[in-house]
């Protein structure tokens, strides 16, 4: 399991390297997605909407956040998607969470702001749930 997480991290880092560099102290959250597509919708349809509409909405309402959709090409998660959230720093991520890891009011408010785009995704393309794979800090 840890090897898969490390592989996802390396893969995501390579993808990000083509568009932006990871910086020291960035915090990476890797969330493997379980997607239930609506009838007649392809994974490519879902992915395109997620990248062009969903991720930008999250980036708009969370300070210091960038999102990336990644796809596993082999191993335990072959052909699965994951979303990798990159916060500027660990304290940036902590701005949205209580010390015990539960959501604080800022996180709840931000989540309410993306409900509309999440509802559109579910209505048109399908729903998803995520399995969190720890947070990683760039050294």
pLDDT digit string, tens, across residues 20-71: 689 999 999 999 999 999 999 999 999 999 999 999 999 999 999 999 999 9
pLDDT digit string, tens, across residues 71-80: 999 999 999 9
Q: What is the pTM of this model?
A: 0.83
Sketch out the chain's domains with CATH numbers.
Answer: 2-137 (3.30.70.100)
3-class SS letters over the chain: CHHHHHHHHHHHHHHHHHHCCCCCCCEEEEEEEEEEECCCCCHHHHHHHHHHHHHHHHHHHCCCEEEEEEECCCCCCCCCEEEEEEECCHHHHHCCECCCCCECHHHHHHHHHCHHHHHHHHHHCEEEEEEEEEEEECC
């Amino acid at each position: 399991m840890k090897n898969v997480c490390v592989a996802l991290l390396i893969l995501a880092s390579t993808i990000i390297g083509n568009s932006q560099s990871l910086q020291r102290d960035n915090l990476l959250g890797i969330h493997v997605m379980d997607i239930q597509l609506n009838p007649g919708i392809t994974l490519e349809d879902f992915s395109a909407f997620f990248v062009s509409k969903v991720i930008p909405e999250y980036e708009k309402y969370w300070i210091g956040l960038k999102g990336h959709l990644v796809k596993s090409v082999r191993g335990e998660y072959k052909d699965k998607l994951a979303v990798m959230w990159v916060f500027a720093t660990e304290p940036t991520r902590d701005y949205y969470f209580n010390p015990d890891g539960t959501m604080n009011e800022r996180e709840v408010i931000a989540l309410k702001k993306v409900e509309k785009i999440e509802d559109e995704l579910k209505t048109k393309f399908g729903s998803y749930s995520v399995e969190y794979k720890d947070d990683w800090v760039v050294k």
